[in-house]
Amino acid sequence: MVTVEDPGDAGAFKDFVPEASSPAAAAPEPASQASAPTPAPVSAPAPATAQPSASGDRVIASPRAHTLAKEKGYGEISALRIVGTGPGGRIIAQDVLDYDPSSAPAVAEAVASQPAAAAAPAKAAPTPLPQPVAGAGYTDYSLPPSAIELASRLHSSKQNVPHYYLTIDLALDSLLELRSSLNSTMKEDEGITVNDLLLKAAAAAMKTVPSANASWMDSFVRVYDSVDINVVVGNGSSLYAPVIRDVGSRGLKAVSDDFAAATAAVEDSEETPTAAGFGDVGTFTMVNVGMFGVKSCAPIIREPQACALALGVIENRIVPNDDVDSEEIYKESVMMTATLSCDHRVVDGAVGAQWLSAFKNHVENPMTLLL
């Protein structure tokens, strides 16, 4: 708008157009436009959630963690989404205790939503081991993951478990006679072995001394009702300890069939056997080193078990004659040496001696195994 003093001068400004306002005269912009936008608050990062590996990486966990996972009904620890807090990401017992199963479905859905191309194959081909590396006066040989895991478990067990050892000699004459009698009524390829009878004898000893069929659980001792025996078979990198279930309550032939099937699975498989019982932990372990001519052995206890039994070579020995009617002072007998390793937290010396005495009684009086 133009203001004049004389009304006659108004016509001179008839076509007047005001110029655009300069930037200095421009009205100030709203503060919301002039100032830089305020960044949105950043929320704290969510806790790390373990994701299943798409490359099939092996899960490293302590023996105690494996045991806790099974005791709590979670199954194999490799199937869980647990973040390990131990050295190198190792899953320890506390990680299993802190695990919340309710978070597993959400993780599983997230994994399922990923493209199929990112999913791991159902069964990846076994990765061949690298070739041996020769050095100056030595050669380095790579180990399969199963051998590395076994070494880790044995190392942990030897450190954690206070071992002590008891040894006894066993006369097998009566046991061999019973075996021969039983096999005479069976087919040639279905015979009972000495190992089968010794398995039954170990289970029978557990019935006599049930406190040896137990585990150390940190704040209490758990005693098991069923005698499930891990039997070590194979050798070297093909060393396995399948479980023979409920040996004490089943018949000798059923136990023999299970043990034969486990042995055949190891001999016929080029990879890790997947038959029932492989990879499981029982309540007791038995290993027979007699096939190598070894007289005795002090085995390492497999956590969380409390005992492990090692059997030596079967051999003829000259022993004192216990027949009071015989004129001979000595006699020849078929003998074996057995060594029991015990966890002193669970099985003290007196209990261990009672178990070994009961085992000897069943071996030298084998008819008790048929009752």
Residues annotated as part of the active site: 344, 348
* Distance from C-alpha of 13 to C-alpha of 31, rounded to nearest angstrom: 38
Q: What share of the chain is helix, strand, coil (3-state, %, to 5)?
A: 35, 15, 45
β-partners of residue 140 are: 133
DSSP run (H or E) holding 307: strand 307-311
Write the DSSP assignment of 2-23 as a string of letters.
---SSGGGGGGGTT--PPPPPT
**Helices (H), ranges, the chain:** 31-34, 63-71, 93-98, 104-112, 145-160, 173-183, 194-208, 252-268, 349-364
Closest CA to 182 of 172, 168, 169, 196: 196
- Cα-based angle 343, 344, 345 (whole degrees, multiple of 5): 90
* Distance from C-alpha of 229 to C-alpha of 277, rounded to nearest angstrom: 10
- Classified as helix, coil or strand, 279 is coil
Write the DSSP assignment of 309-321 as a string of letters.
EEE---EEEEEE-
Q: Are strands 307-311 and 139-140 parallel, antiparallel or unpaired?
A: unpaired
